[in-house]
Structure 1
């Protein structure tokens, strides 16, 4: 298995002592993996040594895999890409995080390959790799400019060539060069491999005499020294680069022009297609080059021949060493730097897709990741470039990379505010996006404050009916929901929906987003039938929009689909909810990935639906998987992690894993107020779950106390006639019965049943639970006639809905108590 190892350098020279030292260190490794690092300054040939090691010892390995390590996200995705080659599910099926950890486990076990080599190239931050250095019987090789690896792993310092190596290298690169000329050239270039490569390439391409090259080198070196410009590298290196560029300019000026543009991208591979977009605003000469594919192809090839760029024809990329980029930029006057920098922004904007919500376009956006910040996109005021920045943040948001989306949004907002003011529409639009991102990260207070400020500025500057103002209203409704103000959110969103329909039309994707928000509000207000109707209308409308639209927003479709499945379940139609949920979850995995936040939310709801239908094993497996993914992706205190934890605790209790359930529920109840504040309904609902477990463990008194506090909190926030409140009241009646207070239990049960019937209808599963428990309490208190009448109603209700073989029905028919739990929904 040979994974994207760069081509072998046919001119590789020397380094035998270092390679021998490296090989001995690796070969002497006995049990645990001891990573080995090649470290040194840029341009000394660390990567070339790693490539040579891989080719020289490839027969000793079953698997060799190359990992670009200058960005953590690239490390994880490249490791995950190894999964199918190890017989593991692909990242698309299992998610990048799970695929990566599965790969690390397979390497640790040596299954199917025990002899493997991983090469992490350009890993400059040791702490970013610590947790993903695999263990096992294989080998790990790292290249880095960072000397801090010296205290972490076994290191081999890579310096410039010895003189002997320099002479040997030039002999390979320039076959006709004499030993004396090679020695003089190496001395003047400080034996730096990158400088020697450029000098050798120039002489190979032009046939320039060494004496003439040395004359030019001395002349240019003297000029540089007289200018007194500080440089990170030897002056001779800068001079050698200058000679190569001058020679290439005489042969093919457009190649040098292309190099200058490449210098203003990031140091990562540049997609060739970035140069296939003719954009207004480009310099005419450069535009003419881009319009001529033959000249452009020749220019690219010449950059490779002169060793000024690495050309990867298979991947269709151009990569310029960061040192060469810096030298090119420094050579140009500031005005020219600004001009080319601005034009590179236009090229990036032309290359970027126009549909950041379309998963099919996400790989193209990902290829821009290494260029957005280094190219200075944030500093541009061009409308197209700012649209690129906005779309890039949208891509990160829609793809589920919330931390990166936040980081880029904050950078852009800070720069744009300095440049064009806090009331600029670009600033305010991006602040609206940032508010949504902060909510996804669980920072509800910060999101609400930012949304409030953004809305006020939009209304005062652009008016109440401006598109951006209206779009911000959806965020305000979401803020109300996250703060537990469900009725206020419903009223706000009802009013907003009318304005959306008037301005955008009923079938617009923006309007459908507000329909979904209102449906959430209705569900949180216990109007499940109303929520189902709205979710269904939104889902059908999304399907209509998706017909024949290749760039459709698949996340929005899954949001509507998942919402419909949830609403159907809340209405009590569990089997139908499972059918919808299974289809929606499969769609999320296949089209968005197993780790996408909305795939995980859909999976959590499906686990609940399976639990409600009695498919306990499936429910438990999925709940465990979802919770584990959330913990890995977002940590223990993220709102979705907490909801997944409560879902898992509920199915653990249902399946008799009581110790695990109690431990997880107790921990989750402690964490909830940190995110939502002490009086949020979700806190009280989850406390009700913990109370239930306390009673199951035999401590009905503590269960009662917990439920009484939860009931007071829910009534204060939502009123008595709410599903959450009545669920806690139902369980509290069971606490009272367990404590022998049958009269109080029956009184509470009668009132709760009456309210539930009015709220949900006589055959809703929650109503049947309350009725069954009340029947048992009435029977124990001697009121057998009323108990029997109610028991028959329960039996008939189950026969008409869930069936008499449903686990709840069997418990009820045995006249045992049923427990009702709470599952926090998405915000």
Structure 2
């Protein structure tokens, strides 16, 4: 298709200008990828031993047939746990949310499903390179497009139609050498070299590189090769390494050592990275790392560039100027490692660990540096970094965990931190490192909604750090803050408040009022205030934290700034400032979308809170649109039973009820009443309060008796869990009074309404929205009882609504029309 190019051509390695032959294989691959009927085409699997050219065949196919596709994407698949992130990176190109920020595994599935549906591209090609682990099969799409897998694993041969790749034919070997060397080699000489190399493409690449730039004759080269082969035959050699490749590599290395020995040090160092591209910035930013073998290279950029050029000419590395990276074939890496004794292996591996640690950004929470971390992550496992005992390297390992967590790749973060904890505990010593890792582990579990497990972990960790380091150590302060979060998650609102008040006092004394850890402790305390109905202190403290985080002297992550701004909006809403909460919430949401992306967890929480404020303010169209979208996104990213997802579902149900769409609202509320106990437990305040939403709908749909029973039980349980003076208790009491009135129990309704109204005005103020709702309902009960003070209360409340809220606010509309106001429940962030 002359002139046509794919709209998206991403991450495909550069074309090998010396690619030769393989025409039959390429035709078979093209034919195998073309579905014969409407049946979904199966992926084609390229199998063979290292060095036969599987990857280069796939690269050539992608370039040669690029005009036949609308989208081509290359996915390094040798580390299975990184495949979801690589697949999720396609999301923006498929008009899906930017999943590089959050919910990697879920978004990878969404990408796979979009490809299978052919939307927006039906003509696509995905290449999974070096897919040895069969577990990635769950991410392989089977739809209108095509998939190529390069692998040595026979599993793919059993599952999909395969294409066997062997060494070159002799004719292809000769063509390859003559193409590369031109007139410098005869057909006979090329044939002799090919025979010695066993027609192995990677070995021919080595000999071709040497022949191209040296005056050495073919006979001289073959003599050197035979000497190396004889040495190898006399030595122990791993069966995975082809003899021809090993001998050819030994010739290249020996000649390189004569000419540029310092380049060989760089090559040996590269053998302990992963087989993925190595960013050149690792050596630039890590130039202060303790790497004795690279002395003279890290401090001399000119010498370093010359070494890279020399290795490239010898075909020992591949250099990509577009991505500014170098790459060493995994077989060459294996040969290099096998040629070293254990001490030298340990030394080079330690140098790689230090280079990675020194080159990494310092703030893994900063979304602007996530791309830098993403380039380093593939080398963490392959370099065996988890075995290091060096403090800086271990700190880097924890920063990688934090990056994976902050960017939404929770499963990978959990896999890595679990391995770190196991390795470091087994190694002995480094107890502080293990405790730090446990803290990261708790953060991941908390974000994933594993509240019971994380509470036990936090309690145990706090006990350990107190015993190990005392009550005033930094890790003790951090662990205390973590336990407070777990207490809130378990519904221990008063206990968390008591813990965090003491914690803030200790933070301020030890670290000052504006230290980053102090600000985090204050943020936790502000959340406690909101959960314990102390809305004014919550607003004051959230504002204090936000302003301090926004100072130039206190740089912090965009996520924390967003959460602080959103918390201010929530505190204003809880005080009744619905319009103000919408204004601040909209500004916060814009900030979140710009800085973190629409699908980041913190952005979604902000969107949910804005939807609640919109509902309270009466902007019901905006509220339902925002609420549904947020619920859908949270469900896709975290699943339908995650705490944040079900919190968003509660909001959607409440909006539907206010809009008069009672049937759908009831269905969703009933589902949440079943789900909340599964997530939080039967006696959690959220579980109990969730029933009050269902009771409102029972009454509105005519089942007043069921509504009353639910509210009576909820009121009793909430008082037991939270005490009598809590806004959840008051909301339930207002609704229960409505149930009693609907059943004709006017005296009981009046008695409960009078008590609740007095408590609300004492705890908040007469103009608080809960007190106003209670007063409006109470005026109706007074009128029904022909009380002389009924009209005075009705007028007073009407004036308050007119003064405080704009026309169309739902409670104001209900009060003006003489309709009872319902007080619903929304779970607060914990």
Confirm or deny a common fold (TM above 0.5). Answer: yes
Matched, 1:553 2:521: no
| Distance change in 2, residues 1:489/1:186 (3 Å) | same
Cα displacement (A) at 1:274 = 1.0
Q: Deviations over 1:336-367 (max 9, x none)?
A: 11111111111111101122222222211121
Q: What is the rounded CA distance, in whole Å, between the counterparts of 1:194 and 1:174 in structure 2?
A: 16
Residue equivalent to 1:174: 181
Q: What is the rounded CA distance, in whole Å, between the counterparts of 2:746 and 2:165 in structure 1?
A: 82
Cα displacement (A) at 1:746 = 2.5
Q: What is the rounded CA distance, in whole Å, between the counterparts of 1:417 and 1:81 in structure 2?
A: 34
Matched, 1:128 2:136: yes
Matched, 1:442 2:449: yes
Residue equivalent to 1:197: 205
Matched, 1:408 2:413: no
Residue equivalent to 2:803: 800
Contact 1:39 1:147 (8 Å CA) reproduced: no
The alignment's TM-score, normalised by the length of structure 2, stands at 0.93
| Distance change in 2, residues 1:76/1:286 (3 Å) | same
Contact 1:62 1:116 (8 Å CA) reproduced: yes
Cα displacement (A) at 1:370 = 0.5
Contact 2:29 2:163 (8 Å CA) reproduced: yes
Q: Deviations over 1:297-350 (max 9, x none)?
A: 111112222221111111111111222111111111100111111111111111
| Distance change in 2, residues 1:363/1:34 (3 Å) | same
Q: Deviations over 1:546-603 (max 9, x none)?
A: 68x5xx3222212211111111111110111111111111111111222222111111
Q: What is the rounded CA distance, in whole Å, between the counterparts of 2:266 and 2:330 in structure 1?
A: 15
Matched, 1:769 2:773: yes
| Distance change in 2, residues 1:311/1:751 (3 Å) | same
Q: Deviations over 1:189-214 (max 9, x none)?
A: 33322222222222223343333333
Residue equivalent to 1:720: 724
Matched, 1:17 2:21: no
Matched, 1:3 2:9: yes
Residue equivalent to 1:585: 589
Q: What is the rounded CA distance, in whole Å, between the counterparts of 1:102 and 1:248 in structure 2?
A: 48
Contact 1:795 1:804 (8 Å CA) reproduced: no
Contact 1:22 1:156 (8 Å CA) reproduced: yes
Residue equivalent to 2:3: none
Contact 1:689 1:822 (8 Å CA) reproduced: yes
Q: What is the rounded CA distance, in whole Å, between the counterparts of 1:33 and 1:546 in structure 2?
A: 58
Matched, 1:595 2:602: no
Q: What is the rounded CA distance, in whole Å, between the counterparts of 2:558 and 2:388 in structure 1?
A: 31
Paired residues in the alignment total 821
Residue equivalent to 1:813: 816
Counterpart selection for 1:259 from 261, 267, 272: 267
1:99-138 matches, within 5 Å, as: 115-125=123-133, 127-128=135-136, 130-131=138-139, 133=141, 135-136=143-144, 138=145
Q: What is the rounded CA distance, in whole Å, between the counterparts of 1:17 and 1:788 in structure 2?
A: 93
Contact 1:33 1:139 (8 Å CA) reproduced: no
Q: Deviations over 1:503-557 (max 9, x none)?
A: 110111111111111111111110111111111111111122468x5xx322221
Q: What is the rounded CA distance, in whole Å, between the counterparts of 1:202 and 1:563 in structure 2?
A: 65
Q: What is the rounded CA distance, in whole Å, between the counterparts of 2:356 and 2:777 in structure 1?
A: 65
Q: What is the rounded CA distance, in whole Å, between the counterparts of 2:311 and 2:666 in structure 1?
A: 65
Q: What is the rounded CA distance, in whole Å, between the counterparts of 1:468 and 1:82 in structure 2?
A: 39
Moved more, 256-265 or 270-279: 270-279
Moved more, 251-260 or 732-741: 732-741
Q: What is the rounded CA distance, in whole Å, between the counterparts of 2:97 and 2:664 in structure 1?
A: 29
Matched, 1:532 2:544: no
Moved more, 63-72 or 559-568: 63-72
Contact 1:94 1:594 (8 Å CA) reproduced: no
User: Cα RMSD over matched residues?
Assistant: 2.7
Secondary structure of residue in 2 paired with 1:721: coil
| Distance change in 2, residues 1:415/1:712 (3 Å) | same
Counterpart selection for 1:48 from 39, 56, 65: 56
Contact 2:746 2:785 (8 Å CA) reproduced: no
Residue equivalent to 2:313: 305
1:320-469 matches, within 5 Å, as: 320-421=328-429, 424-469=431-476
Cα displacement (A) at 1:403 = 2.5
1:668-747 matches, within 5 Å, as: 668-747=672-751
Contact 1:543 1:557 (8 Å CA) reproduced: yes
| Distance change in 2, residues 1:614/1:53 (3 Å) | same
| Distance change in 2, residues 1:709/1:153 (3 Å) | farther
Counterpart selection for 2:760 from 753, 756, 759: 756
Matched, 1:316 2:324: yes
Residue equivalent to 1:497: 504
1:36-115 matches, within 5 Å, as: 36-41=43-48, 42-70=50-78, 115=123
Secondary structure of residue in 2 paired with 1:290: coil
| Distance change in 2, residues 1:759/1:131 (3 Å) | farther
Moved more, 511-520 or 50-59: 50-59
Q: What is the rounded CA distance, in whole Å, between the counterparts of 1:391 and 1:377 in structure 2?
A: 13
Gaps of 5+ in 1: none
Counterpart selection for 2:518 from 511, 514, 523: 511
| Distance change in 2, residues 1:103/1:177 (3 Å) | same
Contact 2:311 2:317 (8 Å CA) reproduced: yes
Secondary structure of residue in 1 paired with 2:150: strand
Moved more, 56-65 or 722-731: 56-65
Q: What is the rounded CA distance, in whole Å, between the counterparts of 2:97 and 2:256 in structure 1?
A: 49
| Distance change in 2, residues 1:762/1:74 (3 Å) | same
Secondary structure of residue in 2 paired with 1:276: helix
Moved more, 434-443 or 503-512: 434-443
| Distance change in 2, residues 1:772/1:70 (3 Å) | farther
| Distance change in 2, residues 1:244/1:677 (3 Å) | same
Matched, 1:522 2:529: yes
Cα displacement (A) at 1:13 = 1.8
Q: What is the rounded CA distance, in whole Å, between the counterparts of 2:443 and 2:100 in structure 1?
A: 25
Moved more, 111-120 or 191-200: 111-120
Q: Deviations over 1:429-453 (max 9, x none)?
A: 2222322222222222322222222
| Distance change in 2, residues 1:418/1:100 (3 Å) | closer
| Distance change in 2, residues 1:26/1:819 (3 Å) | same
Contact 1:11 1:172 (8 Å CA) reproduced: yes
Matched, 1:645 2:649: yes
| Distance change in 2, residues 1:702/1:123 (3 Å) | farther
Contact 2:97 2:598 (8 Å CA) reproduced: no
Residue equivalent to 2:4: none
Q: What is the rounded CA distance, in whole Å, between the counterparts of 1:249 and 1:344 in structure 2?
A: 21
Residue equivalent to 1:478: 485
Secondary structure of residue in 1 paired with 2:551: helix
Q: What is the rounded CA distance, in whole Å, between the counterparts of 2:94 and 2:480 in structure 1?
A: 48
Q: What is the rounded CA distance, in whole Å, between the counterparts of 1:314 and 1:541 in structure 2?
A: 41
Moved more, 165-174 or 594-603: 165-174
Counterpart selection for 1:563 from 551, 563, 567: 567
Gaps of 5+ in 2: 1-6
Moved more, 169-178 or 316-325: 169-178
Contact 1:708 1:732 (8 Å CA) reproduced: yes
Q: What is the rounded CA distance, in whole Å, between the counterparts of 2:420 and 2:538 in structure 1?
A: 38
| Distance change in 2, residues 1:782/1:432 (3 Å) | same
Q: What is the rounded CA distance, in whole Å, between the counterparts of 1:666 and 1:464 in structure 2?
A: 46
Contact 2:45 2:160 (8 Å CA) reproduced: no
Cα displacement (A) at 1:465 = 1.5
Counterpart selection for 2:627 from 609, 623, 633: 623
Cα displacement (A) at 1:819 = 1.7
Matched, 1:276 2:280: no
Matched, 1:186 2:194: yes
Q: What is the rounded CA distance, in whole Å, between the counterparts of 2:149 and 2:626 in structure 1?
A: 37
Contact 1:34 1:154 (8 Å CA) reproduced: no
| Distance change in 2, residues 1:651/1:97 (3 Å) | farther
The alignment's TM-score, normalised by the length of structure 1, stands at 0.93
Secondary structure of residue in 2 paired with 1:311: strand
